[in-house]
Amino acid sequence: MIRPVIRSVIRSVITAGAGALILAATASATGASAATDPTGPVVAHGAAQPVFSPNLRDWVLQEAWVEVPVDSDRDGVRDRVHVRYARARAATDRLPTIMVASPYFAGINPIPNHPVDHDLYDPSARRSPASTEAWPNPAAERRLGDPWGAALWVARGFAWVEVSALGTGKSTGCPTAGGPLETAGPTAVVTWLGGHGRAVNAGGQPVRADFATGRVGMIGTSYNGTLPNAVATTGVPGLKAIIAVSAISDWYRYYRAGGAVVAPEGYQGEDADILARAVLTRSRSAICQPVVADLTRRQDRVTGDLSPFWAERTYLTKVADVRAAVYVAHGLSDWNVKPSQAGLWYRALRAQGTPAKIFWHPYGHGGNPPLYEQNRWFTRYVIGAANGVDHEPRAIIASPDGRYVRYADWPVAGAAPRSISLSRLHLRDGAPGRMLTFTDDPSLSLARFTADPDRTHGLAYATAAMAQPTRISGFATARLRLALGQANANLSVGIFDLSPSGQADLVTMGWADPQNRRSLWRTDPVTPGRMMDVGVALEATDHIVAAGHRLAVSIIQSDADFTIRPPAGKRVTIDTARSTITLPLTRALPER
């Protein structure tokens, strides 16, 4: 689940120290600003300076309910989203706004996930009806959802706005897990900040956003970063820039892969309906039971096929409507919101010329770009101050030792696809051969199998040792010629960095359902014993393989951490001479 991100190792490494320095500078600058008495943002050296107090007692804090032009809870009344907004009391100008939209400000409910220990879909089998369960009581909503972020931006002369997503906290409506109705909530707030739309206070009196210039930036991590992506695809005029961290760009790829039902890491069995139930914290939550029941029915955990349900949750197909400048940040070891969510989104934005940058780090879920990068991004596009951001390198890749290395773009220059047949690789366990058969052990994961290969349950290959440092930058794929011994099977493929001591570090992985070999939109029955070609798209990556290391390729069926786990023993036979792995490779240049 794209849960609220607890301060993680990556955030403490990348932002905590810098945050302490910035807040200290805020206090210093606030004292020094008495002579100038700024009434709005102060830009120096290309960035908004901390000239206002970061303390809540020195702010104006208000709330309102913004009308949304949808009726997601089907009660015949337009939905309303609850908004809390703050500004420094001394900032009397109309201010640019930084906005966070979230389904998490009121907490989450403990909802059990779907079972995953069952057989895979067989087109001749009948479906079972969806289960029902009791609904929890709504959680209480906190006064400010992100006081750390609020202090950072209010001190720099921005207004700070928090939006509770539909169906959460004090908002009405229902959660729809990435659907267009959900997107309409924060989009309506951007419109209101621009002087349009309708909002009321707790007493029902109209409220105008007379504190705002109408220029808005959105920022957030995980679900809170996904909502900026969604709002950007509406082309709403007031949204000038977003910083999307560990964010989804395609909900189908979040809960599915190559037609296979997959899970976010750590949340086996979760799906769109489970997520909606978890964040449903509004009062009178029972009104949303039919809405969430529709999610359960339409998401289709049986076939795993792409469908209109998932297509309307794919922002990649709406990228042409993005008008905001987009800063993408993601962890290369994030197996919750997997790296291709960032890689595909950035690639699509760059292809159409949208102002965009990308920040990769080697850790897991979470991890903002450096604070100076965030500040300069919003200074350029939300305040509108020319600071050269448009002409800087577009990619920053953080090395494991904490250095930020800048590149003209990503994938890095020179990366080109190189294909190699499995038959030309070294089989790490067992005798090589052209036609190799293995059986499924659903208790295995790709990582456990690679650390201790077992020829009876998969194929483990390795390249020769690298003569020089080699970079993998971009998207890898596998093309497998195979036959199943039955009507269905999972496919899981991983690429690992194998050190001389035998340690295997994950580089990228991917999953697929052979029944979707021709189209993600359609299940094509499998004839047992008949050879077919199946493609497996692996996740985006950027990794340097040191000289003397080897690349390991692992192929198994079920992956215990991600796929459905059917009964053991399903058989797959691979024609290794007609199966290839394609990697985007280039020589790794010395980092500066």
Q: Model confidence over 420-446: pLDDT tens digits?
A: 999 999 999 988 999 999 999 999 999
Which residue would you say has higher pLDDT here, 401 or 236?
Answer: 236
Q: Model confidence over 453-477: pLDDT tens digits?
A: 999 999 999 999 999 999 999 999 9
Confidence grade of residue 129 (pLDDT, cut at 50, 70, 90): very low
Give the burial string for 63-80 (b: 16+ CB within 10 Å, else e): ebbbbbebebbeeeeebb
Cis, bond preceding 41 (omega within 30 deg of 0): no
pLDDT number for residue 133: 40
Helix (H) / strand (E) containing 450: helix 446-451
Q: Decide if pLDDT at 125 tops 70.
A: no
Alpha helix stretches (DSSP H) within 128-199: 147-154, 180-193
pLDDT number for residue 263: 97
Nearest to 208 by CA among 218, 196, 216, 217: 196
pLDDT number for residue 400: 87
pLDDT number for residue 123: 81
Count how many Cα atoms sit within 13 Å of the Cα of residue 541 in the half-sphere of its side chain: 25
Mean pLDDT of 565-577: 98
If you ran DSSP here, which 8-state letter would residue 506 be given?
E
pLDDT number for residue 187: 98
Global pTM reads 0.93
pLDDT number for residue 78: 98
Mean pLDDT of 368-382: 98
Q: Decide if pLDDT at 22 tops 60.
A: no
Secondary structure (DSSP) of 202-251: TTS-B---TTEEEEEEEEEETHHHHHHHHHHTTT-TTEEEEEEES--SBH
Which residue would you say has higher pLDDT here, 25 or 82?
Answer: 82
- Give the CATH class of 9-116+136-407: alpha beta
Please enumerate in sequence order all residues whose Cβ is within 8 A of that of 290, keeping only pairs 6 or more positions apart, or say none: 74
Mean pLDDT of 43-47: 97
Mean of the per-residue pLDDT values of the chain: 92
Mean pLDDT of 166-183: 98
Region for 169 from its dihedrals, namely left if φ exceeds 0, alpha if ψ lies in -120 to 50, beta otherwise = left
Mean pLDDT of 88-96: 97
Confidence grade of residue 136 (pLDDT, cut at 50, 70, 90): very low
Q: Decide if pLDDT at 12 tops 80.
A: no
Nearest to 337 by CA among 270, 415, 400, 417: 270
Beta-carbon count within 10 A of 465 CB: 14
Q: Model confidence over 53-65: pLDDT tens digits?
A: 999 999 999 999 9
CA distance 48 to 98: 13
Residues of the chain with CATH 2.60.120.260: 416-587
Residues of the chain with CATH 3.40.50.1820: 9-116+136-407
pLDDT number for residue 122: 83
Q: Model confidence over 286-321: pLDDT tens digits?
A: 999 999 999 999 999 999 999 999 999 999 999 999
Q: Model confidence over 250-298: pLDDT tens digits?
A: 999 999 999 999 999 999 999 999 999 999 999 999 999 999 999 999 9
Q: Decide if pLDDT at 37 tops 90.
A: no
Q: Decide if pLDDT at 496 tops 70.
A: yes
Share of the chain above pLDDT 90, in %: 88
Q: Decide if pLDDT at 67 tops 80.
A: yes
The CATH H-level (homologous superfamily) assignment of domain 416-587 is Galactose-binding domain-like (2.60.120.260)
Confidence grade of residue 7 (pLDDT, cut at 50, 70, 90): very low
Asked whether the beta carbons of 527 and 495 are under 8 A apart, the reply is no
Hey, which residues are catalytic here? 222, 334, 365
